[in-house]
Amino acid sequence: MKHVIIALLVVAVFGGCATAPKITETAALEEILALERAAMETWFKSDPTAYAQAFADKATYFDTRLADRFDDSAVKKHLMTFAGKIPDFDYKFFNPRVDLYGDVAVFTYNLEAYDRKDGKVTARWKSTAILTRTNGGWEKVHAHWTGIPLP
């Protein structure tokens, strides 16, 4: 029942979005995961540009370290404050999943960052992103990161 309510809310909110041809959840996962991997490749080289550019102009973002929500242009502005401050870590995605509701995708995954020198896990996160699909491709309209304490 919870999924039905979420699906109805998503359709109500995004019902007016431009539609793209139908896509399977498997294909959507491949596309979205490829976009996220490309963004993380530059993120962990201290360049948040690709990750920031993945967001639509109208979007929201929760940062695990801060209480405030970022809205619209403040999302990209906030993400760009990380330029030059992100350690050069290796990373892995775990448990990626996409649930489609028309042209809206709920994308969730876990991410671990590793020190390149000794291979130790330096950080763990849970990530949720809501994306909308238009003829131009996928755009994030919301993302929420939650840190997972290290043992």
pLDDT the model gives residue 151: 83
**Structure-token match 């950080």, residue found:** 123
The tokens describing 80, both together, are 């760009």
Q: How far is CA 57 from CA 22, 48, 100, 135, 142, in A?
A: 24, 16, 21, 16, 11
pLDDT the model gives residue 110: 97
pLDDT the model gives residue 12: 44
Sign of the dihedral defined by the CA atoms of residues 142, 128, 34, 27, in that order: negative
Distance between CA atoms of 113 and 137, rounded to whole angstroms?
A: 28
The tokens describing 57, both together, are 């102009």
pLDDT the model gives residue 4: 39
Contact predicate 88/28, CB 8 Å: no
Q: How far is CA 122 from CA 48, 115, 125, 131, 139, in A?
A: 19, 6, 11, 28, 29
pLDDT the model gives residue 136: 83
20-148: CATH class: alpha beta
pLDDT the model gives residue 64: 82
pLDDT the model gives residue 65: 84
The tokens describing 120, both together, are 């130790």
Q: Print pLDDT tens along the chain (151 aa).
A: 444 344 434 444 455 455 567 899 999 999 999 999 999 999 999 999 999 999 999 999 998 888 889 999 999 999 999 999 998 899 999 999 999 999 999 999 999 999 989 999 999 999 999 999 988 899 999 999 999 999 8
pLDDT the model gives residue 30: 96
pLDDT the model gives residue 87: 87
